[in-house]
C-alpha cells in the first residue's frame, strides 16, 4: 500500500492500494494494479485471454471485401482540366498547416493512373473499391452553374474500369474536399449548403447512379465538425469558436445527409436499386480504472459524444439525452441564454431518423477514459468532461493516436448492435500506419489486420452482429491530411522518388488477399484448404524500374549506392596516397639538397 516514502513523504505512492491520508481511518482502496496482480496470481502467469485467441470460421458468401481511398489524398491534378479549388487545396498551400508543407497537388496521381489503380485492386482480390468524388472537380464552384465534364468523365472512366474488372464501386459523395467557393460564403456553417449538397448529390446520382449501387453521403462528420471547425487541425482550419461552431456544423451535416438520403430514396432508388448511408467514425472507450465509477461514466460519455453525436439522430432520433443535458446545463451555467447544441424541430427529428440503409463505420483504436474537469470552459472536450490515454502495453503505430487494441473493435460493434437496433454494418475503414524508413515487410500491418478482422468475425459468428462488409484503409500510401506523406496507411507503397509513382505491394497484401480468398479464417487443422496452401496470385511486389545512371552505367539504386560508397572510399584512399607521395617527394628532395650542399662544401675545402 502507499506509505511514508522517506524523503518524499506522502507525495509518492508505490502501493498496490491507495491510502487516503486525509482520512483519520486511513481507508485502503485497491488500484487497478492490485486487480491486475491478483489476476496474475490467480492464473499463475499470463495465459492468452479468450478475446485474443483466433476464432476459425467464415463470413457470409456475399460478404463485401473492400479497400478505400479519398479523392484529395490520391488524385492529384489539383488544377487539371478545369477543376475548382477545394478547402484542402487552400489549407495545404498555407504554410505550417501540413507537415513538411506537403500537399495533394500530385499526391498519387490517380487522376492519370486509372489503369495502375485497377491493377493493384485486382492483385488484392477485393470485391469492392471505396473511393470519393471530388465535389470541385465536377462542380468547380460547388453549384450547377458550371459543370466540368472532364472531371465527371474521370469518374466515368474509373467506374467503368472497376466494373470491367468485376469490382463494385462504393462511392463517397463528400470526403472533406469542399469547394473553396462555398467556404467563401460560410461553408458548412451556412445553412444554404444543405440544399447545395442536395443539388450536388442529385447531379452525381443522375450521372453515375445506373452503375453505382453503394453510396455514402458524408465521411466522418465528427472530423469535419470538430477537427476542422473546433481544433482547426484540418481544413478549413477554424478554431476560434470551439464552443459553438462544431455543433452548428454538425447540425448542418446531419440535415444535408438527410436531404441526400431522401432524394435518393424518393427519386432514384426504385430505378437504380442501390443503397445509401453515412459513414460515422469512433474509437471505443474503456474506463482507465474499471473499478472506479468516475472512469466508467467518463468512458460512456466519450462514446456518446463520439459515435452518438451523429448516430443517435439518424438511428434513434434526435441527439442523445446525455449530450443534450450536459451541453444545456453547462451553457446555462456559463450565463448563456440557451444550449450551445442546436435543437431539431419535431419535424426535423422525423426527417433525419431512419435515413440509412446500413451503418457505415470507421474504426481504428481504443482509448482509456477518466473524468476531467475543465471549469467553465465552453468547448467540446469540456462538455465531454473526460480525458483519454492509451495503455502503454498496446503496440504503437505511425500515428500518435492509433494504438493496436483489437478487443475494442468487437466491443464497439456490439455497442452498435445494442444501441441502434442491430443495423446492417459495413466497416468502411480500418487500418494502421507506419512512419520512418520504408520497409515492404510490414509485419505490424499484417498482425493488425489479422487480429482486427478476426474480432469482426467473432462479432459476426459469436455475437450475431449483422456485419455485411469490411474495408481496409488504405489501398496505397497517400497524403495523410495534416501529417502529409509522413504517415503511411497503404497496403501498397507509392515510390514518390520515381516520377512514375509506381505502386509496390507490401507483405500485408498477401495476408489480406488470403483472408479475402478464404472469406475468413478456415481452421488449418480441420482439413487442407486451397486458399491457405497457395500463395495468392500476384501478391509479390511488382517489378519496378528503380535503375539510375551512375558513371555512364545503368544500375539499380542499391548497386548505385554501393558504387557511390565504394568510389567515395577509393577517393579517400587516393587522397591519402597523394598526400603520402607528396610528403615522400618533399623529404627526398630536401635530403638531396642537403647532400648537394655537404658535397659542395667538401669540394670547396678540398680545393
The length of the chain is 607
358 DSSP assignment? S
Cell 484542402 locates to 88
Distance (Å, whole) CA 117 – CA 110: 7
Q: What is the mean pLDDT of residues 80-102?
A: 98
Structural domain that includes position 570: 549-602
Residue 576 has pLDDT above 90, yes or no: no
Structure confidence at residue 50 as a pLDDT band (50, 70, 90):
confident
Pair 463, 414: CB distance under 8 Å: yes
Question: Is 542 part of any domain?
Answer: no
What residues are annotated to the active site? 429
Q: What is residue 539's predicted lDDT score, i.e. its pLDDT?
A: 39
Which pLDDT does position 595 carry in this prediction? 43
Q: Which residue has the cell 443495423?
A: 423
**41/62 same-domain check:** no
- pLDDT, tens digit (0-9, with 9 covering 90-100), for 361-418: 999 999 999 999 999 999 999 999 999 999 999 999 999 999 999 999 999 999 999 9
3-state secondary structure of 168: strand
Q: How far is CA 506 from CA 107, 329, 490, 524, in A?
A: 19, 51, 8, 24
Shared-domain flag, residues 62 and 31 = no
381, 302 in Cβ contact below 8 A? Answer: no
Residue pair 469/275 in contact (Cβ under 8 Å)? The answer is no
**531 and 514 in contact (C-beta within 8 Å)?**
yes
Determine the Cα–Cα distance for residues 188 and 192; give it in Å rounded to an integer. Answer: 9
> Considering 502, 532, 562, which residue would you say is the last residue of a domain?
532
How far apart (Å, rounded) are the C-alpha atoms in residues 362 and 555?
A: 44
- Provide φ and ψ at 246, rounded to 5°: -55, -40
The answer to the question of residue 539 being in a domain is no
Quote the CA–CA distance of 420 and 308 in Å, as a whole number.
10
d(CA 521, CA 526): 12
Residues 495 and 386 in one domain: yes
Q: Is the pLDDT of residue 360 over 80?
A: yes
- Contacts of 262-267 with C-beta under 8 Å, sequence gap 24+, read 262/351, 262/355, 263/198, 263/201, 263/202, 263/205, 264/201, 264/205, 264/215, 267/202, 267/205
Asked whether residue 71 falls in the same domain as residue 43, the answer is no
Whether residues 453 and 589 fall in one domain: no
- 561 vs 31, residue with greater confidence: 31
One domain, residues 433 and 573: no
Q: How far apart are CA 424 and CA 359, in angstroms?
A: 6
Q: Are residues 135 and 36 part of one domain?
A: no
The larger pLDDT score, comparing residue 600 to residue 322, is at 322
Residue position matching grid coordinates 482509456: 368
In a domain, 287, yes or no: yes
Burial (0-12, 13-18, 19+ Cβ within 10 Å), 16: middle
Q: Is the pLDDT of residue 552 over 60?
A: no
Q: Give yes or no: residues 469 and 562 share one domain.
A: no
Residue 130 phi, psi dihedral angles, 5° rounding: -95, 125
pLDDT band, very low/low/confident/very high, at 473 (cuts 50, 70, 90): very high
Q: Residue 40: what pLDDT?
A: 94
The pTM (predicted TM-score) of the whole model is 0.85
Look up the CATH number of the domain holding residue 103. 3.20.20.80
| Contacts of residue 200, Cβ cutoff 8 Å, sequence gap at least 6 | 135, 139, 142, 173
Residue 603, pLDDT > 70, answer no
CB 132 within 8 A of CB 70: yes
Q: How far apart are CA 426 and CA 274, in angstroms?
A: 14
The domain total for the chain is: 3
Confidence of residue 48 (pLDDT cuts 50, 70, 90): confident
> Is there a domain that residue 538 lies in?
no
Chain segment 123-141, per-residue pLDDT in tens: 999 999 999 999 999 999 9
Statement to judge: residues 41 and 61 lie in one domain: no
Amino acid at each position: 500500500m502507499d506509505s511514508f516514502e522517506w524523503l518524499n513523504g506522502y507525495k509518492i505512492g508505490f502501493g498496490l492500494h491507495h491510502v487516503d491520508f486525509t482520512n483519520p481511518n486511513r481507508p485502503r482502496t485497491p488500484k487497478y494494479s492490485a486487480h491486475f496482480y491478483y489476476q496474475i496470481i490467480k492464473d499463475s502467469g499470463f495465459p492468452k485471454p479468450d478475446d485474443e485467441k483466433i476464432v476459425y470460421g467464415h463470413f457470409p458468401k456475399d460478404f463485401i471485401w473492400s479497400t478505400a481511398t479519398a479523392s484529395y489524398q490520391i488524385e492529384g491534378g489539383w488544377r487539371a482540366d478545369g477543376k475548382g479549388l477545394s478547402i484542402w487545396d487552400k489549407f495545404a498551400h498555407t504554410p505550417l498547416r501540413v507537415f513538411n508543407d506537403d500537399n495533394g497537388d500530385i499526391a498519387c496521381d490517380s487522376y492519370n493512373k486509372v489503369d495502375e489503380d485497377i491493377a493493384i485492386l485486382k492483385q488484392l482480390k477485393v470485391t469492392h473499391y471505396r473511393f470519393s468524388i471530388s465535389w470541385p472537380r465536377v462542380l468547380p464552384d460547388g453549384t450547377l452553374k458550371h459543370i466540368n465534364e472532364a472531371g465527371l468523365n474521370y469518374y466515368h472512366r474509373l467506374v467503368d474500369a472497376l466494373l470491367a474488372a468485376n469490382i463494385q464501386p462504393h462511392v463517397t459523395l463528400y470526403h472533406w474536399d469542399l469547394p473553396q467557393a462555398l467556404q467563401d460564403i460560410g461553408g458548412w456553417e451556412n445553412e444554404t449548403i444543405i440544399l447545395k449538397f442536395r443539388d450536388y448529390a442529385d447531379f452525381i446520382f443522375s450521372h453515375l447512379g445506373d452503375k453505382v449501387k453503394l453510396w455514402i453521403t458524408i465521411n466522418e462528420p465528427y472530423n469535419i465538425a470538430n477537427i476542422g471547425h473546433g481544433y482547426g487541425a484540418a481544413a478549413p482550419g477554424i478554431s476560434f469558436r470551439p464552443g459553438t461552431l462544431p455543433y452548428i456544423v454538425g447540425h448542418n451535416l446531419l440535415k444535408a445527409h438527410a436531404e441526400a438520403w431522401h432524394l435518393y430514396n424518393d427519386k432514384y432508388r426504385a430505378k437504380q436499386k442501390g443503397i445509401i448511408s453515412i459513414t460515422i467514425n469512433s474509437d471505443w472507450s474503456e474506463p482507465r480504472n474499471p473499478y472506479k465509477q468516475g472512469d466508467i461514466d467518463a468512458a460512456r460519455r466519450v462514446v456518446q459524444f463520439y459515435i452518438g453525436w451523429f448516430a443517435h439522430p439518424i438511428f434513434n432520433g434526435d441527439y442523445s439525452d446525455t449530450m443534450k443535458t450536459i451541453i444545456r446545463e453547462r451553457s446555462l451555467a456559463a450565463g448563456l441564454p440557451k444550449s450551445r447544441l442546436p435543437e431539431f424541430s419535431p419535424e426535423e427529428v422525423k426527417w433525419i431518423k431512419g435515413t440509412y440503409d446500413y451503418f457505415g463505420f470507421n474504426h481504428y483504436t481504443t482509448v482509456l477514459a477518466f473524468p476531467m474537469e475543465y471549469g467553465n470552459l465552453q468547448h467540446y472536450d469540456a462538455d465531454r468532461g473526460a480525458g483519454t490515454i492509451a495503455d502503454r502495453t498496446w503496440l504503437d503505430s505511425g500515428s500518435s493516436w492509433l494504438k493496436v487494441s483489437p478487443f475494442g473493435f468487437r466491443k464497439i460493434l456490439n455497442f452498435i448492435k445494442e444501441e441502434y437496433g442491430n443495423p446492417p454494418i459495413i466497416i468502411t475503414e480500418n487500418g494502421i500506419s507506419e512512419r520512418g524508413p520504408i520497409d515492404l515487410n510490414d509485419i505490424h500491418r499484417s498482425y493488425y489486420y489479422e487480429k482486427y478482422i478476426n474480432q469482426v468475425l467473432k462479432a459476426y459468428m459469436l455475437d450475431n452482429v449483422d456485419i455485411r462488409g469490411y474495408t481496409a484503409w488504405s489501398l496505397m500510401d497517400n497524403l495523410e491530411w495534416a501529417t502529409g506523406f509522413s504517415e503511411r496507411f497503404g497496403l501498397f507503397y507509392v515510390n514518390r522518388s520515381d516520377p512514375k509513382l509506381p505502386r509496390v505491394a507490401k507483405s500485408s497484401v498477401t495476408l489480406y488477399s488470403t483472408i479475402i480468398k478464404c472469406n475468413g479464417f478456415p481452421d488449418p487443422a480441420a482439413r487442407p484448404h486451397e486458399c491457405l496452401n497457395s500463395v495468392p496470385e500476384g501478391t509479390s511486389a511488382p517489378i519496378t524500374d528503380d535503375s539510375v545512371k551512375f558513371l555512364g552505367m545503368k544500375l539499380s539504386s542499391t548497386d548505385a549506392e554501393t558504387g557511390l560508397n565504394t568510389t567515395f572510399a577509393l577517393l579517400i584512399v587516393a587522397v591519402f596516397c597523394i598526400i603520402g607521395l607528396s610528403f615522400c617527394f618533399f623529404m627526398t628532395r630536401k635530403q638531396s639538397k642537403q647532400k648537394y650542399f655537404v658535397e659542395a662544401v667538401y669540394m670547396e675545402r678540398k680545393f
